[in-house]
Amino acid sequence: MDFGLSREDKLFLDAVRSFAGRVIAPRWVEVDEGRWPIEEVAARLGEAGLLGIPLSSKYGGQDGTFLQAALAAEELAYADPSLATPVYMLLETAWPYMVQRYGREEAKGEVLPEVAAGRAFIGIGSTEPQGGSDVASFQTKAVKEGGLWRLYGEKNMVTGVTTMLNLPYGGGVIAITRTGRLEDKHRGITVFLALLKRKGRVAPGFSHRDWEEIGRHGLPTGYLTLEGLPVEEAFMLGELNGGFKIAMEGFNLARTIIGAASIGAARWLLDRGLEWMRQRVVFGKPIASYQGISFKFAELHARLEAARLAVYKAAWVADRHYGGDSAFTLQDVATAGATAKYLAVSLAVETALEVMKWFGGASYFKETNVARPLLGILSYYVGAEGAENILKLIIARNIIGRELV
C-alpha cells in the first residue's frame, strides 16, 4: 500500500495551496460577510482550473481525478474555513460530472465549458418540503407538453440559485422529478438539467427566495418553486424513469468531497488552536502544558489523520470505479463516500467546539473568527447530502445487506 501522492498529485497540490493561500485566505472573511461576491470568487476558481476538475478537457475540464478534487477541496477549505468557497467547488465537481456521464452531447457541449470557466453554476434540486432523504417519495412533476418538458413543484434548500442568476451564462439545477406514478417510487424518477438562466437569459416558470442562514454566508441557499419551467428533451439526464440511480451517484461523489472540505476546515481550526495554546498563559504557564488541553489536541490530531485517510480512500475508490476497474463497484463508491462524510464532518464539528473552548470567551466574538467554521460545517452535520443517520444506514445496508437492514 502506497500512502504517498504521485509526483503529478504533489505538483497539483502545491499549485492549489499556493493559489488558495495567495487569493482566497486573505479575503475569506470578506466572502463570509458578503463583501467579496461568490461570483467573483468563482471566476478566480475558473481561471485556476479548479472547477470541474474531473471533467474532460473536451468540455473545458482538467482531465483530473477525484483524488485531486479532494485535495483541492481540503486546501480551499483551509483557506476559507467558512466553507463557501470549497462548497462552490465541490458542487461543481460532483454534479457536472453527472451531466458529463449521463447528459446528451448538446447539453454537455453547451453548459460544461461555462461551468469550468466559472461562468455558470450547476446545483442540485433534491430536497422537497415534505422531506429530503426519501428521494423515492418526491412529488415534483415533469410533464411532457408539446416538444418540451415542464417542471411543477417545490424544491427546498437549493444552493446557488441567486448565484446562477448573477453569473454571465447562468446555470441550473439537477432536478429530481417524478415522471411515473407516486406508487412507482424510485422507478418513476427522472433527472433533468433544468436551466434557470441560459446564455444570459432568465427562463420563465420559476420563482425563488433565499433563506437567511446562520453560517456559510458567502453562498446562498433558498427555496425554489417550479411553475412550469420549460426543459428541452436534450437536457434530460439518462433515460426516462431511470434517474434515481443518477441522483444517488451524484450524492456519493459529493459526500467524498464534502469530507475533504471538512478535513480542511478542521485542520485550520487545529492550527489556530495550536497557536493559541502556545501563547495563552494561565496560572503562569501556557495552556498547552495542561493535559486537559494537550491530550485533547493529540486525540483530535490523530482522528484527523484517520479521517483524512478515509476521505482519500473514498476518492481513490471513485477513481478506480469510474476509471473502469471492475474490482470496484458503485456500491463500494457509496460506502466509502458515506464513511468519509460521516467521519470527517463529525470530527470537524467536535474540533470546532473544542477549539472554541480553548479560546474561551474570546471565541464568541467575530473578531477571532474561530466560530465561523463551526457554522459552515453544521450545514453538513445536520443534513445536507445526507444526515448522519442516513450515512449510517447506507453503510449498514451495504455491508450487512439490504434484506436485513
- Please tell me the predicted confidence (pLDDT) of residue 149: 97
Under CATH, to which class is 121-237 assigned?
mainly beta
On whether the CB atoms of residues 112 and 59 are closer than 8 A, the answer is: yes
Confidence band for 387, pLDDT divided at 50, 70 and 90: confident
- Please tell me the predicted confidence (pLDDT) of residue 132: 64
Q: Is the pLDDT of residue 388 over 70?
A: yes
Residue closest to 94 by CA, chosen among 356, 314, 351, 387: 314
- Please tell me the predicted confidence (pLDDT) of residue 385: 83
Cβ neighbors of 147 (< 8 A, separation 6 or more) are: 232, 233
Burial (Cβ within 10 Å: 0-12, 13-18, ≥19) of residue 144: exposed
Confidence band for 4, pLDDT divided at 50, 70 and 90: confident
- Please tell me the predicted confidence (pLDDT) of residue 93: 95
Residue closest to 378 by CA, chosen among 367, 387, 368, 365: 387
Residue closest to 91 by CA, chosen among 274, 296, 253: 253
Coil, helix or strand at residue 185: helix
Mean pLDDT for the stretch of residues 149-177: 96
Dist. CA 47–CA 99, nearest whole Å: 21
What share of the chain has pLDDT > 70, as a percent?
99
Confidence band for 192, pLDDT divided at 50, 70 and 90: very high
- Express each pLDDT in 100-157 by its tens digit: 999 999 999 999 999 999 999 999 999 988 776 677 678 899 999 988 999 999 999 9
DSSP H or E segment with residue 261: helix 244-279
Question: Of 342 and 384, which is predicted with more confidence?
Answer: 342
Confidence band for 77, pLDDT divided at 50, 70 and 90: very high
In the predicted model, what is the mean pLDDT of the chain? 95
Dist. CA 253–CA 255, nearest whole Å: 5
Length of the chain: 405
Domain spans of the chain, in order of start: 7-116, 121-237, 244-400
On whether the CB atoms of residues 173 and 158 are closer than 8 A, the answer is: yes
- Express each pLDDT in 27-58 by its tens digit: 999 999 999 999 999 999 999 999 999 999 99
Backbone φ and ψ for 203, nearest 5 degrees, come out as -80, 155
Supply 140's cell numbers.
415534483
- Please tell me the predicted confidence (pLDDT) of residue 59: 97
- Please tell me the predicted confidence (pLDDT) of residue 259: 97
Residue closest to 82 by CA, chosen among 394, 359, 372, 399: 372
Task: Please tell me the pTM assigned to this model.
Answer: 0.94
- Express each pLDDT in 234-284 by its tens digit: 999 999 999 999 999 999 999 999 999 999 999 999 999 999 999 999 999
Domain 244-400 has CATH 3.40.50.10490: no
Superfamily of domain 7-116: Acyl-CoA dehydrogenase/oxidase, N-terminal domain (1.10.540.10)
**131 bridge partner residues:** 128
CA 369 from centre of chain: 22
Mean pLDDT for the stretch of residues 61-89: 97
On whether the CB atoms of residues 53 and 92 are closer than 8 A, the answer is: no
